[in-house]
Amino acid sequence: MNIIKFLDEFTTERLQEPVSSRRAMLGQLGSITKKAAMVAVPFGLAATSTKVHAQESGDVPAIFNLALTLEYLEAEFYMKALDSGVLSNNARARAIYEQISQHEDAHVEFLKAALGSAAVDKPTFDFTAGGNFDPFMESAGTSMDTAYTQLLILAQAFEDTGVRAYKGQAANLIGQGGLLTAALQIHSVEARHASEIRRLRGLEGWITGDTRGAGMPEVTQAVYNGEDNISQGGVDVTSLGSGSPFSFESATQAYDEPMTGETATTIASLFIQS
C-alpha cells in the first residue's frame, strides 16, 4: 500500500466510505503533507480538519501500519545518524544510537512480517523537515555541534512520540492476544529509548507536565501537549495524598499520556516527503 494512501485512511473517517470517495482525499492529504514539510509548521498544527478519529478497535492492519510508519522513520533516522559521522566524537551517544538503531530495525522487520502483504511501503523521508534541520550535517554551513544538537532533539521527539503513539493504540488491540502483547513489548522498548535519549540530553528520563524540556524547539511542543493531565480514570492524582508524590510534577511524571493516531501521523508527516 502506498504511504499516502495509508495516511489518508488513518487520518480520516472515510474508511467506511466508497473507495472513490477515499481516492478524492488522496490529493488533498498529499498536498497537506508536502506543505507541512516545506513550511515546518509546528508539530501537530498540520492536522487535517477532520475530527480526531480513534482507529476502529480490531483494525489490526491499520494499527500496525501506523506503527510500521513510525518505525520506518526511526529506523532510517538512526541509520543515517550513525552513517553521518556526527556522533564520531561521542562514544556514549554512538553506543546509544547503535543500540536503538538495532531495535528499530528489528521493529520494522517484525511489523512487516506480521503485516505480510498488507504492509505499507517505506516512505521517502526528509529529516530536514523542509530545510529546518540538518541533523546529518549535509550542508556545508552546518557545524558538527549544531548537527549533534539537532540529532538529539529529533531522537527525543521521535521516541517520546513513539511511546505515546503505541499507547494510544493499545486499547484497540484488546482481544488480539499475542499482537497486543507484542505491541506492548515494543511500547516499553520505546520508553526505554526515550528515557536514555532524554538523559543523554541532560534531562530527566520522564516528562514533567507538558514541558518539552530545555533545548527542545517550539516546533516539538505537539509531542508533549496533553502530558500535563492529572486526571487518571477520573481521579485527580494530585489529591491522593500529601507530600512530594502528589505534587503536580510527580503526578504528571508518573503517567505517560497516549496520543491519537491522527496526531502521531501528523507529526510523522512532517518528515515524509512522499
Partner 1 sequence: MKKKKAIEVKTQTVGRNRRNFLKVSGLALAGSGLLLASCDNDDDGGYMMPDGTFDLGSGDVGVLNYAYALEQLEAAFYTNVVNGSFYASASSEEKAILEALYNHEVNHREWFKAAIGANVPNESMRLTSDLEFDFSSVDFSSRDSVLGTAQVLEDTGVSAYNGAGIYIQTPLYLTLAGKIVSVEARHAAAIRSIIAGEADYKAFAGDDVVDSNGLDLARTPAEVIDLAGGFFVTPFTYKSPMA
Question: Which residues 6+ apart lie within 8 Å of 23 measured at CB?
Answer: none
**Residue 94 carries which side chain, given as an amino acid letter?**
R
Question: CB under 8 A: which stretch of 45-53, 124-132, 134-142, 193-201 binds partner 1?
Answer: 193-201
Rank residues 15 and 184 by Cβ distance to partner 1 and give the closer one: 184
What the block records as the C-alpha cell of 52 is 480526531
Query: Could you tell me the smallest distance in angstroms from the CB atom of residue 100 to partner 1?
Result: 7
Distance CA 270, CA 41 (A): 8
Question: CB under 8 A: which stretch of 16-24, 31-39, 139-147, 255-263 binds partner 1?
Answer: 255-263
Nearest to 218 by CA among 24, 18, 40, 28: 40
Q: Which of 144, 228, 258, 273 binds partner 1 (CB under 8 A)?
A: 258
Q: Which of 25, 41, 47, 189 binds partner 1 (CB under 8 A)?
A: 189
Interface with partner 1 includes 201 (CB under 8 A)? no
Beta strands in the chain (DSSP E): 231-232, 235-236
Distance CA 252, CA 237 (A): 8
Interface with partner 1 includes 210 (CB under 8 A)? no
Q: Which of 95, 143, 145, 274 binds partner 1 (CB under 8 A)?
A: 95
Distance CA 249, CA 255 (A): 11
Contact present, 67 and 186 (Cβ < 8 Å): yes
Question: CB under 8 A: which stretch of 17-25, 137-145, 248-256, 260-268 binds partner 1?
Answer: 248-256
What the block records as the C-alpha cell of 224 is 508533549
Query: Could you tell me the smallest distance in angstroms from the CB atom of residue 62 to partner 1?
Result: 17
In the region spanning residues 107 to 136, those forming contacts with partner 1, defined by CB under 8 A, are 107, 109-110
Interface with partner 1 includes 233 (CB under 8 A)? yes
Instruction: Tell me how many residues contact partner 1 (CB under 8 A).
Output: 63
Q: Which of 50, 139, 235, 274 binds partner 1 (CB under 8 A)?
A: 235
Contact present, 6 and 121 (Cβ < 8 Å): no
Contact present, 48 and 32 (Cβ < 8 Å): yes
Query: What torsion, rounded to 10 degrees, do the Cα atoms 43, 70, 30, 221 define?
Result: 0
Contact present, 125 and 273 (Cβ < 8 Å): yes
Query: Could you tell me the smallest distance in angstroms from the CB atom of residue 196 to partner 1?
Result: 4
Rank residues 97 and 133 by Cβ distance to partner 1 and give the closer one: 97
Q: Which of 27, 56, 83, 199 binds partner 1 (CB under 8 A)?
A: 199
Distance CA 63, CA 59 (A): 6
Binding residues for partner 1, rule: CB under 8 A, are 57, 91-92, 95-96, 98-100, 102-107, 109-110, 163, 166-167, 170-171, 174, 177-178, 180-182, 184-196, 199, 204-206, 232-235, 237, 240-241, 244-247, 250-251, 253-258
